[in-house]
Chain A
Amino acid sequence: MFSLLQEKLEDAFRKLRGTAKISESNIADAMKDIRMALLEADVDFTVTKDLIKAVTETAQGEDVLRTVNPGQMIVKIFHDELVKLLGGGATELDLSPPQRILMVGLNGAGKTTTSAKLASWLKKQGKRPLLIALDLYRPAAITQLQVLGQQLGVPVCVPPAGETDPVKATRAALKWLDEQGGGVAIFDTAGRQEVDDELLTQLKQVRDLVQPSETLLVADAATGQQAVAVASKFNETVTLSGLVMTKLDGDARGGALLSMRQVTGCPVKFIGVGEKVEQLEVFHPDRMAQRILGM
């Protein structure tokens, strides 16, 4: 897939490559194009600013102007900077006891689907996944998880009939888990907006009960400038351990991932690349940086 951001960056660098001698102002011009491209890719405004600053400094420090091929040099600096931003830290799923994964995020991001995808992935690893439905709000959210669990042959814990309090449902689920005799439990929570204090407090209560080994923020690849606020608010509330970006099978450039990575410091653990349960991939910072840069 050839994204607009890639095209833009290629353009910017092609311009640089074409010039025999590159001046400071050539670099400044390229940076303007890159800035535009990053913003169009939905990288956060401030994150973009910092990124451009860092790359410009490195470019000056390495005396790019004197190298044989300054364009390529800047591409490399950019690539390395993006990999550094996107990567770092362990990207393996933490399956240490109590082997509990809490899925959180905005409405419609892909939490329920990703819960099922993770269950399928764990099953293939020879683990015993268990799905726990904690979305008591969205119509048929429980049925959705039940259907997916059934398709996968994975046990699904549903809340007691008529239960409307997710905190009570969590207590019931933990009891259910005790009876299951081990396994990796995936808790699917209701979607919520990061400005909804009441729902965030509720999520924190659920988190405190679950004491998860992994708390994954599920985010849509098409997320715009809201990304920083979302990631920092969820991180503040439930202390995230990882990010999952969904819907990367589309043409959204996914710049929000850079921002979320930057603001939380959490590694990206998986990416979603389709609606089907097997369409989950391990995240490769290098590939993502290359995808962004069109290399």
Chain B
Amino acid sequence: IQRFTKPDIDWDDLEASLIAGDLGPKLALQIVSDLQAQQRKLHGADIVQVARDHVRKILPESVPHLTPFADGRPKVLLIVGVNGVGKTTSTAKLAHLLQHAGHKVVLAAADTFRAAAVEQLQVWSQRLDAPLVKGPPNSDPAAVCFEGYEMAVKTGASFLLCDTAGRLHTKHNLMEEMKKIHRVLGRKDPTSPHEIILVVDATTGSNALQQAREFHKAIPLTGLIVTKLDGSGKGGVLVPIQQELKVPTRFIGLGEKVEDFQAFDSKRFVDELL
């Protein structure tokens, strides 16, 4: 009798909020039914907190930091993703972050395809005062990364950041091109690239999971950067990506400036999701 006096839980409203955050309808429904199973123990007033805890449990408590190699080898980061998500901007942001921590960085402009993609990264390299390696229009992006590695060794840089062209995960030839970049970098150092970061736009809905699946299948991802979290898109899709592929979100983008960049904090993320 006691339990009927408890405030009602608006399950539809909870489901709607989860879906509105782009968590995906499957995961949203799963969470709702998990919580419904323990309904007797729940109050309407704490349902949001309980749902938050439930989502947070899916995410890792902490994610690895970017540290340079002790033996002086350059650590290679390959930045990949579909068109327009924020790869070039995030490459600049990462460079800024690493420089701020006292590390030397070399940039490789491996998008040799899109109009003024090289010029875009070049502007950032000038602003950040980080050396840039580039190739002629439509040249082999793998060669640019290879040269980038040599430049990093020559200048004693601890990090090489390779910005690649946007490619839809459905385009076979472009995915093969990316695999080639991966292979060619391995010739200099068999463990390179050491980080393969998929950039995901928080504006994206369920397709981001499909993007992550296909990129991860082609080359093993080590993390995500979720961009444009300054907009109203909540980026909830990073949760099913973590759940299914175990690829953690490492950084988030919060604007167009290099400073608008932070290490991922799952507590803050979940608080803003719901």
Contacts and interface: CB of A to CB of B under 8 A. Distances in A.
Given A40-B25, A193-B232, A223 B116 contact: no
- The prevalent SS among residues of B at the interface is loop
Contact of B203 (A45, A106, A110, A143): A106
A195 to B, nearest CB: 5
B112 interface: no
A141 B204 CA distance: 23
Nearest to A37: B25
Interface stretch (A248-256, A260-268, A282-290): A248-256
B84 A108 contact: yes
Interface residues of B, number: 45
A39 B19 contact: yes
- The prevalent SS among residues of A at the interface is loop
A107 B169 CA distance: 20
A229 B205 contact: no
Interface centre among B82, B113, B204, B230 (most CB of A within 10 A): B204
A72 interface: no
B270 interface: no
A45 B230 CA distance: 22
A106 B231 contact: yes
B205 A195 contact: no
Contact of B233 (A221, A226, A247, A251): A226
Contacts of B123: 139-140
A36 interface: yes
B161 interface: no
A7 interface: no
Nearest to B165: A275
Interface string A94-135: 000000000000111110000000000000000000000000
A222 B235 CA distance: 12
B21 interface: yes
A147 B115 contact: yes
Interface string B105-131: 000000001111101101110000000
Interface of A: 36, 39-42, 45, 106-110, 137-141, 143-144, 146-148, 151, 193-196, 220-226, 229-230, 247, 249-253, 255-256, 275
Given A40-B25, A41-B206, A225-B21, 9 more contacts: A107-B256, A139-B120, A143-B119, A144-B114, A146-B116, A222-B201, A223-B205, A252-B210, A275-B114
Interface of B: 16, 19-22, 24-26, 82-86, 113-117, 119-120, 122-124, 166, 168-171, 201, 203-208, 210-211, 228, 230-234, 237, 256
29 contacts: A40-B24, A106-B231, A107-B86, A108-B83, A108-B84, A110-B83, A138-B256, A141-B116, A143-B119, A144-B114, A144-B116, A193-B232, A196-B231, A222-B203, A222-B208, A222-B211, A224-B205, A225-B19, A225-B20, A225-B22, A226-B233, A249-B168, A249-B171, A250-B82, A250-B169, A250-B170, A251-B170, A256-B205, A275-B83
